Amino acid sequence: MEPFIVAGVRLGVARAGIKYPDRRDLVVIEVAAGTQAAAVFTQNAFCAAPVIVARAHLAVTAPRYLVINTGNANAGTGVQGLTDAEATCRALAKQTGCRSEEVLPFSTGVIGEPLPVERLVAGLPAALASLQAEGWTEAAHGIMTTDTWPKWASQRLMLNGREVTVTGIAKGAGMICPNMATMLAFVATDAAVDQALLQHILNAAVADSFNAITVDGDTSTNDALVLLATGQSGATVPTQGEDYACFSAAVRAVCIELAQAIIRDGEGATKFITVQVEGGRDSAECRQVAYTIAHSPLVKTAFFAADPNWGRILAAVGRAGLTDLDLERVSIHLDEICIVCTGGRAPDYTEAQGQQVMARPDITIRVELGRGAATARIWTTDFSFDYVRINAEYRT
């Protein structure tokens, strides 16, 4: 299904040759005057120059344009990186007649190399000339790096008798453990939403989506997610009630679909793995256990090999750092198969059962801690030969 058009948003793409010739690597997003914006960014201390600039610009005013380049992260580039990010904003502002603070820059690609500003700026006229409301699909292609396919999601709903659209695009396949959002994601709606409320809705959606995924445990320097509300539909989102709940659910659904797409397209991934931890004292310790399992190279390689080496999962639960864990209360399932109970291997479990589950493309690891009512769920991948190859050859 093609992404739904969002009134008040146009997207354009160009081939600027930032890293590779003849590759879509520059995207401009234009939003209508009066659009409200909310955003979350990486918590990596070495955050990229465009993250610093985008944060600063959002603190001053709402955006009219977003500019995204691939092939170069403009991270680890010091003062020059900030200068280059600001120069990009000024160049786009000059060509569109807006203020430079009304431009938000975003970059993704190799860390530590100077941004080729001249090539980026030279590509802006072509990106602006291609602006169109139907440009979501092209833009999804234009923000890809090691992704193998473009990622978009859309929802429609009725608010106050008016049709409202929520559409988003995202990129990401490796260096995924966002701790905020994802590599890059841009979501827009034609509903009218107060900025503070928009930020609240985004934060809640991120907690259940982009902050619940991991490929490899690495948080990027460039992670950014922006939610834009143009108000062009004429429908206003209230601060509570059924319409608020419906709109929040639509944003959450788009974010979850995009986040899951990133995991399914994880570098070299052959398995989509849900880690569900139940019975914790609080959600924080459930997430602690879930991420310990998901980040274990031994667990991830076992899933790639379809090897039911359940001891690796058991060991991950045991080293997650929970105090006073009662092993007699812990149980572990692979899909419908119980592999661990009362502190050891389940009496009815067989290796053949485990292997049958491990061969599936979608698998759920469910851990019951037996110490409370809290739960947490995250999504991850296996580690394959291709994950190593892709990352070993990334700069070549």
> How many CB atoms are located within 10 Å of the residue 373 CB?
9
Q: What is the CA radius of gyration of the chain?
A: 22
Residues ≥6 apart with Cβ < 8 Å to 9 = 29, 30, 31, 32, 133, 188, 190, 228, 230
Query: Among 112, 250, 256, which residue's Cα sits nearest to residue 181?
Result: 256
Tokens read off for 244: 């608020």
Q: How many residues does the chain have?
A: 396
**Residue 182 annotated as catalytic:** yes
Identify the active-site residue in 167, 182, 189, 292: 182
Q: Are 210 and 181 contacting, i.e. CB atoms less than 8 angstroms apart?
A: yes
Q: What's the farthest any 2 CA atoms get from each other in the chain?
A: 72
How far is CA 377 from each of CA 207, 210, 291, 357, 372, rounded to the nearest angstrom? Answer: 11, 12, 9, 19, 16
Torsion of CA 126, 128, 133, 139, to 10 degrees: 60
Q: How far apart are CA 239 and CA 224, in angstroms?
A: 25
Beta-ladder partners of 365: 275, 334
Residues recognised as catalytic: 182
